[in-house]
Amino acid sequence: FMPGKQTGLSAQCWPDRLIGALPNVYLYAANNPSEGALAKRRGAATLVSYLTPALTHSGLYKELVSLQQSIERWQQLGPEQALDRASLTELIIEQARSIDLAVPAHINAASDASDVKATRDTALAAWIEQLQNQLLELEYALIPEGLHVMGQTPTREQRLGTLKVMADAMGLNSREHSALLEALVDGATEAELQSQQNNLKAAAPLSHDKASVPPEAESLRQLVRSNRLLGEDHEMQGLMRALDGRYLQPAPGGDLIRNPEVLPTGRNLHGLDPFRMPSAFAVRDGQRQAEKLLARYQQDHQALPETVAMVLWGTDNLKTEGGPLAQALALMGAAPRFDSYGRLAGAELLPLSTLGRPRIDVVITLSGIFRDLLPMQIRLLAEASFLAASADEPPEQNYLRKHALAYMAEHEGSTLECASLRVFGNTEGAYGANINHLIDSSCWENENELGDAFTQRKGFAYGREGRPVRNTSVLQSALASVSLTYQNLDSVELGVTSIDTYFDTLGGISRAVLQAKHQRDGNAAEAPPVFIGDQTQGDGVVRSLTEQVALETRSRMLNPKWHESMLQHGYEGVRQIEAHLTNTMGWSATTGQVQPWVYQQLAQTFVLDPAMRERMAQLNPTASAKVANRLLEATRRQYWQPDAETMTALLRAGEELEDRLEGIQEGLPA
Ligand code: BEZ
Ligand code: MG
C-alpha cells in the first residue's frame, strides 16, 4: 500500500520480494470486488470468493406488531363508532410514543371545538397513514441474517429468503409467487415450475390478478440455477483447487440479488474495464438518482442546493458500472465522452436548455480505493468541473461557475483551473480519514478534531492531470458553500451503521463542512443535512441520515431476528453488536443527527436487560464491557441524556462487566 504502487509492484518492491514464488490464495467476500482488485494488483492474489449472509425481510416484532394491529383496527372503524375511534387513537399515540415514533404536536392537542376537531381528524388520518407507511418500510427492509460460514450452504429457509429477494429484484413480486418459490426451493425443475404456472393460469383464466402473469422464462431459469448453486458447496472445493495449485474459474464480483452470475462462489473474482465506465446504463441511472436527490432537498428546503458534497467509493461504482460517479456528473450537467472505439475519452457538458435547471456545484471526496482503481474517472470528474466553471453562462444558472468566480475575486492571482478544483482525496498511498480510529479509541476531546482529521487527510485536490496536490484553501471555500452531504449505499449486508467507514467518509465531510461554515459565517452557522441514497432495493430511495439510522436501528439492532441471528455466532456476534453501536456513536460525533432514543433503546436491549447482559458477557466479555462503556461515553458527550435511574443502572452494569473482565466474580473475594 505504498505511494506509486497503486497498480502493481516491480521486482524491487518488498512485498514482491518477500512473497517470491509463493502462491497467494486469498478468501474474499463476493460482494467486495473493489478491494479484491487491489489484492490482485498488488499481491498477485488468486481470490476465492465466498457468499454474503442470507437476506431476509426485517419483519415486525414486539411493540411494532401491537401498533400495527391497533392501526388496522382503527382503519376498520366507521365514523359512527366515534367513541371507539377516540380511545383507539389514544392507544395508538401511546404505543407510538412508547417506542419513540414521533407524534406531531397538533395530533396531541385534543379539542372539542367542532371546527378544530374536523381539522384534527384530517391531520390524524394523515398521520396514521404515515405511521403505517413507516411500519411497512420497516417490515420490508432487507437485513442480513447472521454471518456466512465458509463452506456451509444456506438452510432451506435461508435459501428461500434469498431467492425471494432475488425474485423481487427481477421484478417478480415474491409475495404473489410464494407457492412457486416454495416449490423451487424444494427442488422443482424449470419445466415443473413452468407447468405449475400454466396450470394456475388455466384454473383461473379470468383472474386479473398479477400472480397469473407467468414469470419470464429467463428469470425462472436464473432462479432455478441460483437455488441449485446455493445448495451446493463450491467454496471448499474452490479453496482446495487453489491450494492444489490448479486453475480457478473467474467470476464477476457483486451483489447476488443484482447479479446471479456471482454464483457459484469459490471462484476467482475479477474486476472492471475502466475504459467502459460509466456505462450507458449508469449514465441514465445517475441522472435519475441526481434528480431524486434534488427533489428530496427541494421538498425539505423549497430551493435547489447550490453545492452538494458527495462521497465516492470504489465498491459502489464497481457494482453499478459507475452509477454514483455518473450521478456526480449529472448534478454538474455533464456526461462522459467516448472515442470512436467506445473508450472513455473525457467529459462534455450538456447544454443548459437540455438540463432544464442550474448546474449544481459538486465537491467530490474519494476513498483511497476509488483513487487506486479509477484514475481515468478521476480525470473525467476533474475535467467536468473545469468545463462547467469555464462555461460562458449566467452564474445563477451555473453554481459551479458562480463559486469559482467568487473564489477568484477573493484570491488574487488564482486561476480558473485552480478555483474549479472539486475532486479531493487522500494523497497517494494513504487511505481513509482516520476518524474511525479516533472514535474507536475514544482518543479525542472535541468534535472539531474529527473535522480537522478529515481535511488533513482528504485535503489533496486531483485536477485534470490526475495528480494530488494539497489545496486547503479551495477545499475550505468549496465546503463552506455546501448545502447537503450525500453518499450512496450499495449493499444490503452493509448499512451505514455496520462498518466504520461510512461515518469516516460521509460523517467526516459533514463535520468538515460545518467547521468551514463556522469559519466563514461564525458560530451560528448550521450543520448541513446529510442524505443517504439507498440503492439496495427497486429504483432507490433518498433518506436523511436520521431516518436511515432509525431504520437500521429498528430493523437490525433492536430486531430479535437480527440480533439473535448474530448471537448464534457467539463471540463474533457480540462483537458485531458492539461495532454497530460504536458506528452509531461515530454518526453522533460527526453529524449530531442521531436521535437520543436510539441509545436509550440499545441500552435497554443489550445492557439493562439482565438475561441479555449475562448471555453477551458469557459469549464475549470484552465486547460486552465495550458496549456498556460506549453507551456511557455517549452520555458524557451529550448524545443522549438518560434519566437518573437509567444512568445508575447503566453505571452499575458497566462496573459489573468490567469486574468480570478482570476476573472478579460476585461471591468470590476480590
Ligand atoms: C471503497 O470501495 O472505496 C471502500 C470500501 C470499503 C471501505 C471504504 C471504501
Ligand atoms: Mg479490511
Pure H helices in 170-279: 178-185, 190-203, 217-230, 235-243
By the 8 A CB rule, do 50 and 265 touch? yes
Q: Which atom of ligand 1 is nearest to the CA of 432?
A: 8
pLDDT at 2 > cutoff 70: no
Residue 54 parent element (H or E): strand 54-57
Any atom of ligand 1 within 6 Å of the Cβ of 502: no
Closest protein CA for atom 8 of ligand 1: 501
Q: Which atom of ligand 1 is nearest to the CA of 312?
A: 3
Q: Nearest ligand to the C-alpha of residue 373?
A: 1
351-375 confidence digits (pLDDT tens): 999 999 999 999 999 999 999 999 9
470-497 confidence digits (pLDDT tens): 999 999 999 999 999 999 999 889 999 9
Q: Which atom of ligand 1 is nearest to the CA of 313?
A: 3
Which residues, other chains included, contact 208 with Cβ-Cβ below 8 Å and sequence gap of 6+? Answer: none
pLDDT at 35 > cutoff 80: yes
Measure 231 CA to ligand 2 centroid, in angstroms: 28
Residue 111's pLDDT is: 54
167-203 confidence digits (pLDDT tens): 988 888 888 889 999 999 999 999 998 888 777 767 6
Q: Which atom of ligand 1 is nearest to the CA of 317?
A: 2
Which residues, other chains included, contact 396 with Cβ-Cβ below 8 Å and sequence gap of 6+? Answer: 358, 402
571-593 confidence digits (pLDDT tens): 999 999 999 999 999 999 999 99
Residue 210's pLDDT is: 47
Q: Which residue has the higher pLDDT, 228 or 10?
A: 228
The least confident of 143-152, 328-337, 551-560 is 143-152
β-strand pairing of 25-29 with 46-50: parallel
Measure 313 CA to ligand 1 centroid, in angstroms: 5
User: CB neighbours (10 Å) of residue 335?
Assistant: 19
Closest protein CA for atom 6 of ligand 1: 501
pLDDT at 292 > cutoff 60: yes
By the 8 A CB rule, do 169 and 258 touch? yes
415-445 confidence digits (pLDDT tens): 999 999 999 999 998 999 999 999 999 999 9
* Residue that the C-alpha cell 451555473 belongs to: 398
Q: Which atom of ligand 1 is nearest to the CA of 315?
A: 2
Three-state DSSP state, 459: coil
Q: State the average pLDDT for the chain.
A: 92
Q: Nearest ligand to the C-alpha of residue 503?
A: 1
β-strand pairing of 46-50 with 142-145: unpaired
User: Could you tell me what percent of the chain has a pLDDT over 70?
Assistant: 95
Q: In what order do the strands lie in the sheet with 530-534?
A: 468-470, 460-462, 423-425, 361-366, 307-312, 484-489, 530-534, 541-544
Q: Rounded CA gap, 88 and 77, in Å?
A: 10
Which parts of 405-549 are beta strand (E)?
A: 423-425, 460-462, 468-470, 484-489, 530-534, 541-544
Any atom of ligand 1 within 6 Å of the Cβ of 315: yes
Measure 316 CA to ligand 1 centroid, in angstroms: 8
By the 8 A CB rule, do 566 and 613 touch? no
Q: Rounded CA gap, 268 and 253, in Å?
A: 9
Q: Nearest ligand to the C-alpha of residue 368?
A: 1
Q: What is the DSSP string of 352-395?
A: HHHH-SPBPEEEEEE-HHHHHH-HHHHHHHHHHHHHHHHS-S-G
pLDDT (average), residues 132-148:
94
Using 50, 70 and 90 to split pLDDT, how confident is the model at 667? low
Pure H helices in 77-177: 82-98, 105-108, 114-139, 156-169
Using 50, 70 and 90 to split pLDDT, how confident is the model at 666? low
